[in-house]
Amino acid sequence: MINLINISKSYGENHAVRSFDLTIETAETTVLIGPSGCGKSTILRTIIGLISPDTGKVNIEGEALSTANLVSLRQKMGYVIQEGGLFPNLSAEGNVFLMARYLGWDKDRIEERIDELCELTKFPKDALNRYPIQISGGQRQRLSLMRALMLDPNILLLDEPLGALDPLIRSELQQDLKEIFSTLGKTVVMVTHDMGEAAFFGDKIVLIKDGQIIQEGNISDLIKTPSNPFVTTFINAQRNHLEIIGDI
């Protein structure tokens, strides 16, 4: 479980997040969604400790995130960003096992884990010796997911991981990701700007505006019992992305 308690973050006069409280349940997929600049990526980066909040605290599995335990808690979290964030000077395999090698894993253990992850993510083993520029966008995202899962973390954080992909590849990866989430049973927090994607993945959807939670619940809650007019306006603006939820 992840608890965000009274989180606030400002950059000068810009209030990115305001008095933000959220509980993220274990083994569920929570999707953060809202307009550009609403604070959703700030929340994700606060969870993994890339951003220090001005106020409030983050509890990861009952332990308050701090400078003293930041490294150890980060090892419990995998992080995937848009376009993968891969190191261009390392091979695909080198990107995946970087942290494992740093932590002293032996060669056999690394190879066994990479074999498992190739099967899980459907990444072709014959592409492991290629560099990121030599593989497709979809393969880079699969590789980024492998890197995030290498240490078998309890928590997986994804910041618009499919946003830069063309629709066909994106659809294929959505299906594969949902199957992976179901198989692994990890706590997943995903940022997206696409309501259809949020509906597809989210056990819980958290709609954010101006750094504050407007409503949280499943897609049916947001559509049938909106907390205020903004919820309906936001959903109606994305009606063409909501075919996957059928008659809701």
- The terminus-to-terminus CA distance of the chain in angstroms comes to 29
Residues 163 and 247 in one domain: yes
Residues 160 and 190 in one domain: yes
pLDDT for 79: 95
Residue with tokens 């970087």: 98
Per the structure block, which two tokens stand in for 215? 């409503």
pLDDT for 163: 75
- Domain boundaries, position 124: 85-152
Residues 139 and 240 in one domain: no
pLDDT for 38: 92
pLDDT for 242: 59
Per-residue pLDDT of the chain (248 residues; tens, 9 = 90+): 999 999 999 998 899 999 999 999 999 999 999 998 899 999 999 999 999 999 999 999 989 999 999 999 999 999 998 777 899 999 999 999 999 999 999 999 999 999 999 999 999 999 999 999 999 989 999 999 999 999 999 999 999 888 767 778 888 889 999 999 999 999 999 999 889 899 999 999 999 999 999 999 999 999 999 999 999 999 988 776 555 444 44
Residues 50 and 166 in one domain: yes
pLDDT for 161: 85
**The domain that contains 18 carries what CATH number?**
3.40.50.300
User: Of 152, 174, 193, which closes a domain?
Assistant: 152
User: Of 121, 152, 183, which closes a domain?
Assistant: 152
Residues 121 and 178 in one domain: no
Per the structure block, which two tokens stand in for 11? 């950059």
Residues 163 and 236 in one domain: yes
Length of the chain as a residue count: 248
Helix (H) / strand (E) element for 172: namely helix 167-184
Residues 236 and 171 in one domain: yes
Write down the pTM of the prediction.
0.91
Residues 21 and 127 in one domain: no
Q: In angstroms, what is the C-alpha Rg of the chain?
A: 18
Per the structure block, which two tokens stand in for 136? 């497709």
pLDDT for 87: 95
CB 235 within 8 A of CB 33: no
Residues 12 and 57 in one domain: yes
The set of long-range contacts for 15-22, using a CB threshold of 8 Å and a minimum separation of 24, is: 15/210, 15/211, 16/42, 16/211, 17/42, 17/43, 17/46, 17/53, 17/211, 17/212, 18/210, 18/211, 18/212, 19/55, 19/56, 19/212, 20/56, 20/211, 20/212, 20/213, 21/213, 22/206, 22/213, 22/216
Q: How many domains does the chain have?
A: 2
pLDDT for 247: 43
pLDDT for 246: 46
Q: Which amino acid is at 56?
A: G
pLDDT for 238: 79
User: Of 99, 119, 152, which closes a domain?
Assistant: 152
Residues 62 and 119 in one domain: no
Rounded Cα distance, 223 and 225, in Å: 6
Residues 147 and 167 in one domain: no
Residues 178 and 121 in one domain: no
